[in-house]
Amino acid sequence: MAAHAAPVEFALPQVLTYPAPTPPILVAQGAEGRLYKTTYITPSLPCALKYRSPKQYRHPILDARLTKARIQAEAKVLDRCCREGVPVPAVYALDATAGWLAMEWVDGVPVRQGINVWLGDRPEDDAISDAEVADETPLVDLMKRIGDAVGALHRTGVIHGDLTTSNMMLLPWADGQSNGASSEDGEKKKAVGGDVILIDFGLATQSVTDEDRAVDLYVLERAFASTHPRAERLFTHVLEAYKQTFKKAPSVIRKLEDVRMRGRKKSMLG
Amino acid sequence: MDTTKKKRRIALGCEGSANKLGIGIIAHDPETNEPTVLSNVRHTFVSPPGTGFLPKDTAQHHRAFFVRVAKQALANAGVRPSELDCICYTRGPGMGAPLTSVAVAARTLALLWDKELVGVNHCVGHIEMGRAITGAANPVVLYVSGGNTQVIAYAEQRYRIFGEALDIAVGNCLDRFARTLEISNDPAPGYNIEQLAKKGGRVLLDLPYAVKGMDCSFSGILTRADELAAMMKAGGKGPDGETFTQADLCFSLQETVFAMLVEITERAMAHVGSNQVLIVGGVGCNERLQEMMGAMAAERGGSVYATDERFCIDNGIMIAHAGLLAYETGFKTPLEESTCTQRFRTDEVFVKWRK
């Protein structure tokens, strides 16, 4: 009975209507905003432009206030991460009032995709066994790099707010080191190789409490388990590496135990 | 009287989790399962302006009116007690004392007429009635009332909560602000805020906006709105030197909290990939909320489903409907287990009647 989802044509943000060497490409569309790939800012180098379009349902004053505050907050967080060596895209330019933020284009694939290539068509009930958890496979190495990245993020006092394997990119290493003998093996190895870059800080906040950090980890743990059930056991390597990178990790991990126990659920009053 | 081969199934539902006492009678067609509302009677306990409804007084109200409302419901439906299949009642969530008094009354009816009892989750009642009335097959549900604020979607036999209020419910925020302004609670504080808000809108006052992922929080907004109301009463001006009225306050409060609700609903819709949204619960009657939700849904190429006050506001018919759905799958509540509880999460209910 509901109207069928008609292909909605989105109006470009004004900045993308100006002449550029290549036309903008709509890469992703979420509830928050839209992501374009464009060469408007730097002709020789593509960049990622995040646009928070005006929400028709919202009062215009409120909408303008929120859009501006959110673009500014995201830019501030990215800038802080960049300065402190957390692997995130660099900010190129922004216009908070117009609602856009241009960032470094990460030329890679989401970690989710890399892990799925590695796992291949491994059947559901053939989950990674205890023996394999101890193996030093390239996938385990990727888990450690994820832990390192999140550890570095928390060390700078930033909470991502939406950590998933879709919000992490794999920036491929320069070739030459990982070319294995058998091609299929090499492909798989390549799929989980590369530097881990954290992206999409639309829900990020700045905080240094164990509680916030633990909830951030919990969100990742839950997302990981539901996205990659077969590799669920490898998550312990993420936490191990997190401990190595981040000095205050032990108290966060203790808090994580509490968070796991209560979930995100509260018992409610009528 | 009923001469068809297969008898239609009839349930009586008793609701009293807050200040509304509602009794309704529903029939399900034996062939099509189509629900028909036979009667839907409600009596509301209205407290004086500036006050809320206390559990003790509300329970007393429900006890005093139960027999009258029940008789009226039977008379309107033209149904004799012997024709009923089961008696449904609200197990929770809600206020303890009112829930208990209605549960006692429902037990009494079950014993008196020798019927099975069915305990119903109040939130599931709202969702099922909303689906039945609007025909929305599998929507994202925004459940907003005086006690609850949840964004819900169905998956694998349960109504799963994707987002919710972390502190007070949105309806509670509105009700309490109505108390601050000492406006009437008749017919409902939220309704009177809505009417006042229509006269406001010259200025939009700055209130906190507290959305965290798919969750949100309202207590800080209430505190700020109360502060602004105190400034106004003292004859002062706003933080930016502007003058404002009660109507402007109501307008700003509505615009802010509804924008938050629409935002978390949109996020849930994007998350589960749905473009239908159903609004249920007392706050769902608010036409401004419906309008904003409609604008969001249209942007996503979808549509919004809402019901009117007969079904949005707490009522007995939704308890009868959800209870009868469960009863048809073989569910019943034995007398010795026919308790009620203030805390009863929507996702605790095993939804056997849906695929």
Q: Is residue A3 part of a domain?
A: no
**B292 in contact with A at a CB cutoff of 8 Å?**
yes
Q: pLDDT at position A3, please?
A: 38
In terms of domains, do A116 and A207 share one? yes
Contacting residues of A for B92, CB less than 8 Å apart: 270
Q: Do B301 and A266 touch (CB under 8 A)?
A: no
pLDDT tens per residue, range B258-267: 999 999 999 8
Q: pLDDT at position B120, please?
A: 98
Cis, peptide link before residue A60, omega less than 30° from 0: no
In terms of domains, do A229 and A167 share one? yes
Among B93, B271, B276, select the one facing A2 at the smallest CB separation. Answer: B276
Contacting residues of A for B147, CB less than 8 Å apart: 268-270
ipTM of this model? 0.89
Q: pLDDT at position A264, please?
A: 47
In terms of domains, do A159 and A69 share one? no
Domain limit, last residue, from A57, A76, A104: A104
Whether pTM exceeds 0.95:
no
Read off the pLDDT of each residue in B231-250 and give the average, rounded to a whole number: 88
3-state per-residue secondary structure call for chain A: CCCCCCCCCCCCCHHHHCCCCCCCEEEEECCCCEEEEECCCCCCCCEEEEECCCCCCCCHHHHHHHHHHHHHHHHHHHHHHHHCCCCCCCEEEEECCCCEEEEECCCCEEHHHHHHHHHCCCCCCCCCCHHHHHCCCHHHHHHHHHHHHHHHHHHCCEECCCCCCCCEEEECCCCCCCCCCCHHHHHHHHHCCCEEEECCCCCCEECCCHHHHHHHHHHHHHHHHHHCHHHHHHHHHHHHHHHHHCCCHHHHHHHHHHHHHHCCCCCCCC
Q: pLDDT at position A8, please?
A: 53
In terms of domains, do A138 and A200 share one? yes
Read off the pLDDT of each residue in B251-278 and give the average, rounded to a whole number: 94
Domain limit, last residue, from A43, A77, A104: A104
3-state secondary structure of B83: helix
Q: How confident is the model at residue B236 (pLDDT cuts 50, 70, 90)?
A: confident
pLDDT tens per residue, range B298-354: 988 899 999 999 999 999 999 999 999 999 999 999 999 999 999 999 989 999 999
Distances (CA, A) of B186 to A204, B94, B183, B192, B289: 43, 21, 9, 8, 20
Q: Is residue A26 part of a domain?
A: yes
Helix (H) or strand (E) holding B258: helix B246-272
Q: Is residue A1 part of a domain?
A: no
Nearest to A216 by CA among A145, A170, A264: A264
In terms of domains, do A86 and A171 share one? no
Domain limit, last residue, from A60, A89, A104: A104
Q: pLDDT at position A182, please?
A: 58
In terms of domains, do A87 and A179 share one? no
Q: How confident is the model at residue B9 (pLDDT cuts 50, 70, 90)?
A: very high
Q: Is residue A210 part of a domain?
A: yes
CA dihedral defined by A244, A249, A254, A255, rounded to 10 degrees? -140
In terms of domains, do A25 and A75 share one? yes
Q: pLDDT at position A176, please?
A: 53
Catalytic residue among A148, A162, A212, A258: A162
Mean pLDDT of chain B: 94
Q: Would the pLDDT of B1 be above 60?
A: no
Pick the residue from chain A with its C-alpha nearest to B265: A31
Distances (CA, A) of A57 to B6, B162, B279, B288, B338: 49, 21, 16, 10, 44
List the domain range (segments joined by +) for residue A68.
Answer: 14-104
Q: Is residue A6 part of a domain?
A: no
Instruction: Convert B52-64 to b/e letters by CB count within 10 Å (16 or more is b).
Output: bbebebbbebbbe
Categorise residue B195: left if φ over 0, alpha if ψ from -120 to 50, beta otherwise. alpha
pLDDT tens per residue, range B85-142: 999 999 999 999 999 999 999 999 999 999 999 999 999 999 999 999 999 989 999 9
Q: Do B99 and A203 touch (CB under 8 A)?
A: no
Residues with Cβ within 8 Å of A134's Cβ and at least 6 positions away in sequence, in order, are none
Residues with Cβ within 8 Å of A263's Cβ and at least 6 positions away in sequence, in order, are none
In terms of domains, do A46 and A27 share one? yes
Regions of chain A short of the pLDDT cut 50: 1-7, 178-181, 264-270
Q: pLDDT at position B300, please?
A: 87
Query: What is the CATH classification number for the domain harbouring A27?
Result: 3.30.200.20
pLDDT tens per residue, range A102-152: 999 999 999 999 999 998 877 666 777 766 777 778 999 999 999 999 999
Q: Do A62 and B209 touch (CB under 8 A)?
A: yes
* Cβ–Cβ < 8 Å for B228, B205: yes
Q: Say whether A162 is catalytic.
A: yes
Contacting residues of B for A57, CB less than 8 Å apart: 259, 262, 291-293, 295-296, 299
In terms of domains, do A163 and A87 share one? no
Query: What is the CATH classification number for the domain harbouring A220?
Result: 1.10.510.10
In terms of domains, do A97 and A114 share one? no
Q: Would the pLDDT of B224 be above 80?
A: yes
**B210 in contact with A at a CB cutoff of 8 Å?**
no
In terms of domains, do A136 and A92 share one? no
In terms of domains, do A121 and A74 share one? no
Q: Is residue A8 part of a domain?
A: no
Q: Is residue A4 part of a domain?
A: no
Q: Would the pLDDT of B154 be above 60?
A: yes
pLDDT tens per residue, range A177-193: 544 445 677 888 888 99
Our count of domains for chain A comes to 2
Helical packing angle, A210-227 and A249-262, nearest 10°: 60
Q: Is residue A9 part of a domain?
A: no
